[in-house]
Amino acid sequence: MTFRRNFLAASVAILAATAGLQAQAQTVLKATDTHPAGYPTVVAVENMGKKLEAQTSGRYKVQMFPGAVLGQEKETVEQTQIGALQLNRISLGVVGSVVPDVDVFNMPFVFRDINHMRKVIDGPIGDELLAKVTASPARLVALGWMDGGARSLYTKKLVKTPADLKGVKVRMMGNPLFVDTMNAMGGNGISMAYGEVFSALQTGVIDGAENNPPSMFTSNHFSTGTKYYAQTNHLIIPELLVMSKVAWDKLTPADQALVKKLGREAQLEQRALWDKSVEEHTAKLKAAGVEFVPVDQKLFFDATEPVRAKYGAKFADLMKRIAEVK
């Protein structure tokens, strides 16, 4: 009996030690997104994490923190740069001040439509800009693009022309280019963190914002009296999936190649999720009483020409290449 008890005790100890070693061998990669659980970008990264865990036999696991629980984008970019976070889905509006080269995609009306944007990011231009982000001092490794859809205006008053925006305070992302874009369109651009928009709309600090239908619905902005969605499509900005350079440098070359491959797969999977989400949330917004207002986009295109001239001069050749993509 004594031998049996000792044998069982030793077996338990060995199993515990083995489990401990396995636990130690697993690296948890913390991922974040300002969007809520279930949002296309969140789901795409979660699926990427499942693939990574399966294809590395559990050596890596992705833990997603959606809904800005770890901070707004400005804060999470900084956390990613120092390695406190390992994966992040971020807007180009945040990265533009750190990696100026991506500002070419931030230009108003640089893309004709969503399909034009996708052809550009899937091709050589998209690959070149990913490489520039990775090679920059930003300490971020660009794994792929995420579809952010087309941004349009939602306001408390009806807007059909630039003249209708006179005196209207509209939240914009924290990049001077975007504030200037709204000012050129006739409104008063206000730089503000995404997480502050709901209360600002409620209290009248701002009169509107601009985003895509899924974001307008999931943020509950439609409940603040913003009944009009003017389909300006003034910004069609892809987003970035990035990895901390600190975390990237700890990967083996084989694991780096795998993460890159899965990032590209996430890019394409998120696109299908995005299209479905836009359709569903547009229907939900209409059911909630939001009026989708067609506008003459050329009026807003012409109004923003000074912005393209001011910010786009250094990207003249690249903008010409983008325009030539069919």
Whether residue 137 is found in the same domain as residue 158: no
Sequence length of the chain is: 326
Contact criterion met (CB below 8 Å) for 79 and 70: yes
Tell whether 60 and 183 lie within a shared domain: no
Domain CATH for 320: 3.40.190.170
Residues 10 and 155 in one domain: no
Residue span of the structural domain in which 159 resides: 150-236+282-324
Task: Report d(CA 259, CA 138) in Å as an integer.
Answer: 19
Share of the chain above pLDDT 90, in %: 82
Looking at residue 217, its pLDDT comes to 96
pLDDT score at 181: 97
How large is the average pLDDT for residues 67-79? 92
User: Is residue 32 domain-shared with residue 79, that is, in the same domain?
Assistant: yes
Q: Note the pTM of the prediction, 2 decimals.
A: 0.84
pLDDT at 294 over 80: yes
| 183 and 138 co-located in one domain | no
| pLDDT value for 99 | 76
Whether residue 110 is found in the same domain as residue 191: no
Residues 106 and 27 in one domain: yes
Same domain, 140 and 58: yes
Q: Could you tell me if 141 and 258 lie in one domain? A: yes
Tell whether 103 and 209 lie within a shared domain. no
Q: Based on the domain organization, do 132 and 10 belong to the same domain? A: yes
In the chain the beta strands, taken as DSSP E runs, fall at 27-32, 60-65, 87-91, 140-146, 150-155, 169-172, 188-191, 208-211, 228-236, 239-244, 291-293
User: SS3 sequence, the chain?
Assistant: CHHHHHHHHHHHHHHHHHHHHHHHHCEEEEEECCCCCCCHHHHHHHHHHHHHHHHCCCCEEEEEECCCCCCCHHHHHHHHHHCCCCEEEEEHHHHCCCCHHHHHHHCCCCCCCHHHHHHHHHCHHHHHHHHHHHHCCCCEEEEEEECCCEEEEEECCCCCCHHHHCCCEEEECCCHHHHHHHHHCCCEEEECCHHHHHHHHHHCCCCEEEECHHHHHHCCHHHHCCCEEEEEEEEECCEEEEEEHHHHCCCCHHHHHHHHHHHHHHHHHHHHHHHHHHHHHHHHHHHCCCEEECCCHHHHHHHCHHHHHHHHHHHHHHHHHHHHCC
Rounded Cα–Cα distance for residues 154 and 151 (Å): 10
Q: Are residues 173 and 273 in the same domain?
A: no
- Number of domains observed in the structure of the chain: 2
Q: Which residue has the higher pLDDT, 175 or 78?
A: 78
- Give the closest residue to 90 by CA, choosing from 220, 235, 213, 238: 238
305-312 and 176-184 helices cross at what angle (nearest 10)?
150
94-152 tens-digit pLDDT: 777 667 788 899 899 999 999 999 999 999 999 999 999 999 889 999 999 999 899 99
> What pLDDT, on a 0 to 100 scale, did the predictor assign at position 16?
44
| Max mean pLDDT range (35-39, 98-102, 214-218, 228-232) | 228-232
